[in-house]
Amino acid sequence: MTTSGPPAPEDLWGGRFHKELDPQARDFHSSVRFDWRLFPYDIRGSMAHARMLGRCGIIPQEDADRICEGLESILSDLSTGRLAVDPRAEDIHSFVEAELTRRIGDAGKRLHTARSRNDQVAVDTRMYVRDAIDGLAGRLHDGQQALVDLAGRYLDVIMPGYTHLQRAQPVLFAHHCLAYFEMFFRDRERLADCRRRADVCPLGAGALAGVPYPVDREGVARELGFAAVAANSLDAVSDRDYVIELVSALALIMVHLSRLGEELVLWASQEFGFVEVDDAFATGSSIMPQKKNPDMAELVRGKAGRVFGHLQALLAMMKGLPLAYNKDMQEDKEALFDAVDTAAACLGVMVPMLRSLRVRGDRTLAATRQGFLNATDLADYLVQRGVPFREAHRLVGQAVARCLETGRALEDLSLEELRALSPVIEEDVYAVLDIRRCVDARNSRGGTARAQVEQALAEARRRLAGRKPPQQPGEPALG
């Protein structure tokens, strides 16, 4: 940290000290290099606070007006880049306050009446969290839309469904897409739920115990768009549940995205060959001219880990902290910002990649021809003709073993061979073994039969149309 150049900003708390802060200590405790991002919220919060101070007669109305004008000009200058945040400031709150006083003089020194940085940082972060959630919910909505479109575009495509990554039973590709639709749906619900609890205004809690002024907490909360005011001043400045809840919801989003990323990596391989990632979302090799790598999907898979790490860091940081504010809590911001940025970036690349994905229906269908995906259907056929399921399972297992010896599929066995297994088998068995018929047989609600998937797709479209995300004031917060 250099001490040359214009004078360093004055500390907010210099009065009782006899020494300057040690330069390393100053650098160590400063948060401005990351919390500068809170400036739009910090300034809006301060304007609501100042207006309330004026309205309630706590500071002269003309001072409140000058404060608001000054804050407005700082907001505009920071937004347009005319004003840069001083990296030597302690945090964004002290920077804005110092800049305000520099611009409007003594009136600026009245802004911090009936407020502490403890309730201030909490209100800023809660506003950021609300916007981040709105932005992320919008991206998840776009992801759901992309999945629905993909499902609709490839409604005829049949692919192997897997368990243990072994071919199991055939499913519609659209059915697979709609599984992720459901995950994203739950993700949005979790975000909305987290937003509800974040939407509580801590201003007025002061440092920890409330403030000895006739403040209008409800008015401030209303102006800042909060649904409620925090009920307990100690909790208001100590609570970081909303940060942990959001990052935990993000961790689950990353679990889902990483699973999708992994499937895209597998499916784009020569071994599977199920999909082709658009050139705009793939990269080549610096040495192997033939390579086309699904880097974006791999990165999404890889970035999940850092969000899980942030969640762990936040939980460990909060564990065992005595009430009320502790400086440890300043550590929440980098974790929060990076978790939000990471999830937003992953959705930002995953969604257009899905939109431009090409699915090789010939390859997925060919894959259903090997691996006895219709074995369960043969067992079910026997069950329909009175064979107990456990016995049918054993018989079909024997048929599979026979096929494996001779390199055939079940439908390649002659009627004679099949009847040797069980005399209840007749010519109609071949229709039952047809892969498309196997898909359509699974007509239980939520199953993969074409009729079910068409219904699920229509329902998904209806759900998407009915649950438009709010306007996205959060986009800037997502960087």
Active site residues: 164, 285
**Interface with ligand ARG includes 317 (CB under 6 A)?**
no
Which 354-373 positions form the footprint of ligand ARG (CB under 6 A)?
Answer: none
Which is closer to ligand ARG, CB of 324 or CB of 433?
324
Query: Nearest distance from residue 70's CB to ligand ARG, in Å?
Result: 21
Q: How far is 27 from 21, CA to CA, in rounded Å?
A: 10
Which is closer to ligand ARG, CB of 30 or CB of 448?
30
Which is closer to ligand ARG, CB of 118 or CB of 233?
118
Q: How far is 8 from 94, CA to CA, in rounded Å?
A: 12
Q: How far is 232 from 210, CA to CA, in rounded Å?
A: 9
**Residues 63-92 as x/- pattern, contact with ligand ARG by CB under 6 A:** ----------------------------x-
Q: Could you say which of 329, 347, 441, 478 contacts ligand ARG (CB under 6 A)?
A: 329
Please give the helix or strand (H or E) that residue 138 lies within, else none.
helix 117-153
Q: Could you say which of 325, 337, 372, 381 contacts ligand ARG (CB under 6 A)?
A: 325
Please give the helix or strand (H or E) that residue 275 lies within, else none.
strand 275-276
Amino acid in position 258? S
Cβ(247)–Cβ(317) below 8 Å: no
Which is closer to ligand ARG, CB of 118 or CB of 368?
118
**Interface with ligand ARG includes 31 (CB under 6 A)?**
yes
- Span from 18-26, 327-335, 350-358, 371-379 in contact with ligand ARG (CB under 6 A): 327-335
Q: How far is 96 from 76, CA to CA, in rounded Å?
A: 12
Distances in Å between the Cα of 234 and the Cα atoms of 86, 285, 315, 338 are 31, 56, 19, 28
Amino acid in position 228? A
Which 108-127 positions form the footprint of ligand ARG (CB under 6 A)?
Answer: 117-118, 121
Query: Nearest distance from residue 341's CB to ligand ARG, in Å?
Result: 18
**Residues 123-162 as x/- pattern, contact with ligand ARG by CB under 6 A:** ----------------------------------------
Residues in the chain: 479
Query: Nearest distance from residue 38's CB to ligand ARG, in Å?
Result: 9
Which is closer to ligand ARG, CB of 148 or CB of 237?
237
**Interface with ligand ARG includes 337 (CB under 6 A)?**
no
Query: Nearest distance from residue 335's CB to ligand ARG, in Å?
Result: 12
- Span from 50-58, 96-104, 145-153, 322-330 in contact with ligand ARG (CB under 6 A): 322-330
SS3 90: coil
Q: Is 451 exposed, middle or buried (0-12, 13-18, 19+ CB in 10 A)?
A: exposed
Query: Nearest distance from residue 31's CB to ligand ARG, in Å?
Result: 4
User: Which residues share a beta bridge with 161?
Assistant: 169
Query: Nearest distance from residue 321's CB to ligand ARG, in Å?
Result: 12
Query: Nearest distance from residue 479's CB to ligand ARG, in Å?
Result: 19
Q: How far is 253 from 467, CA to CA, in rounded Å?
A: 19
Nearest to residue 250, comparing CAs of 359, 337, 375, 121? Answer: 337
> DSSP secondary structure string, 387-415?
--HHHHHHHHHHHHHHHHHHT--GGGS-H
Residue that is written with structure tokens 């692919």 in the block: 159
User: Which residues share a beta bridge with 293?
Assistant: 283
- Span from 140-148, 176-184, 321-329, 393-401 in contact with ligand ARG (CB under 6 A): 321-329
Cis-peptide, bond into residue 324, ω within 30° of zero: yes
Instruction: Return the beta strands (E) in 115-252 as ranges.
Output: 158-163, 166-172, 200-201, 228-229
- Positions touching ligand ARG (CB under 6 A) are 31, 35, 91, 117-118, 121, 325, 327, 329-330
